[in-house]
Amino acid sequence: MENRKEKKGILSIIGGDKLILLVAIVIVFVLFTALNKNYFSWTNIVNLMIAASLVGLVAVGHTYLIIAGQNDLSPGSLAAFCGTLAALLLSKGLPIVPAILIVLAAGVAAGLFNAWMVNSIKLEAFIATLVTQNIVRGFAYIICDGKPISISNKAYLAIGKMRILTIPLSVWLMIFAFIVFGFILSRTRFGRSVYAIGGSKEAARLAGLNPQRIITTCFVIIGVLTAIGGIVFSSRMNSGQPAANVNLEFDAITAVILGGVSFAGGVGGMFGTVLGVILIQAFNTGLIMVNVSTFWQYVARGALLLFALTSDYIRKQRREKELLEAAMKNIK
């Protein structure tokens, strides 16, 4: 009896879905370590975290958007554009601080543009952000004539090389974003408002909330986080690359859905997103380290996304069943 109570206590604290994710992470680490002994080395763990940092920043923004019943397919293009824009501005002799501020403003502008299409001309977020994806990627190529721009500014390059307690700055930025935005989502009125409009936009409006303003804020959040990711990525690569970060948004969305955020909106949390990011990056890094063909990596990532969406469907069906059973009990 005591063991059962302990198990129930653990499940209530962590959550059944999160426990499954933790088990999946352990399995991935054990599997790829067996295939390549260097997989579980400290050096590779740090490299895994560095690779996860960009996906993690975007996944934080996607957590807000998807809970709010929205989506964004433009982060990959926006990150490439922001990195290229930063490289261009620095190559023209602009100091680092104004250059970074302009890049962050570009992230805000992209978020506002997406929100305008969703709120004002009533496009579905999927279509609206697909428009932005193509426009921004096009601008990334236009401003550099389709060629990467090298970066020589030492202060800017230090962003990608700086380490605090042996851990790269990019990883600390990701951790900071998880903690701050996780707190906002779970402990503030704005966070509760995001859940409310994801559950029912009309009900939230009747309760006195402003869905359009909340959606705009969520799009701006992901725009700024993506711009920061683009800055860090270009600093790490020593150049602005217009062709970079293809499919970044799909990795982020997969991580968020794996973490338990419902694609229908209104359900989820930041802790699940953290686990989802770790799982997907551990999986991607493992595929690379065991020399899986790039073509098969696309297949594997697509299968992982399908698994995430199927899991989301099963969770949704289970929630609906529980709500129906609760309603029937109240009637009785």
Task: Dump the DSSP string for 188-215.
Answer: SHHHHHHHHHHH-HHHHHHTT--HHHHH
Over range 193-209, report the average pLDDT: 90
Most confident of 25-29, 139-143, 161-165: 139-143
Q: Is residue 8 part of a domain?
A: no
Number of domains in the chain: 1
pLDDT at residue 301, as a whole number = 82
Contact (Cβ atoms closer than 8 angstroms) between residue 280 and residue 289: no
In a domain, 38, yes or no: yes
State the chain's mean pLDDT as an integer. 89
Q: What angle do CA 319, 324, 327 make, to 5 degrees?
A: 125
Q: How large is the average pLDDT for residues 207-231?
A: 95
Which CATH number characterizes residue 261's domain?
1.10.3470
Percent with pLDDT over 70 in the chain: 92
| H helices, E strands: number in the chain | 14, 4
pLDDT tops 90 at residue 242: yes
pLDDT recorded at residue 7: 47
C-beta separation of 155 from 169 below 8 A: no
Residue 1 predicted with pLDDT over 50: no
Express as a percent the part of the chain with pLDDT over 90: 65
Interval 146-167 mean pLDDT: 92
Q: What are phi and psi of 264, to 5 degrees?
A: -80, -10
Q: What is the pLDDT of residues 272-317, one digit of tens each?
A: 999 999 999 999 899 999 888 888 888 988 888 888 788 777 877 7
d(CA 244, CA 84): 9
Domain membership of residue 32 (yes or no) is: yes
pTM attached to this predicted model: 0.90
The residues, any chain, with a CB within 8 Å of residue 118's CB and separated by 6 or more, are 70, 124, 125, 128, 215, 219
- Across 2-31, average pLDDT: 68
C-beta separation of 245 from 76 below 8 A = yes
Residue 111 to residue 72: CA distance in whole angstroms = 9
Residue 6 lies in a domain: no
Question: Do the domain assignments include residue 72?
Answer: yes
Extract the runs of DSSP E, i.e. beta strands, from 66-178: 149-150, 163-164, 167-168
CB count within 10 Å of CB 63 equals 30
Tokens of 107: 């992230």
Residue 7 in domain: no
Residue 12: inside a domain, yes or no? Answer: no
Predicted confidence (pLDDT) per residue in 66-97, tens digit: 999 999 999 999 999 999 999 999 999 999 99
Give residue 16's pLDDT: 62
**What is the domain extent for residue 299?**
17-331
Q: Per-residue confidence at 18, pLDDT binned at 50, 70, 90?
A: confident
Instruction: Give 97-106 contacts, CB < 8 A, sequence gap 24+.
Output: 99/156, 100/231, 103/227, 103/230, 103/231, 104/224, 104/227, 104/228, 106/78, 106/81, 106/82, 106/227
What mean pLDDT comes out for the span 56-71? 95
Query: Residue 78 falls within a domain, yes or no?
Result: yes
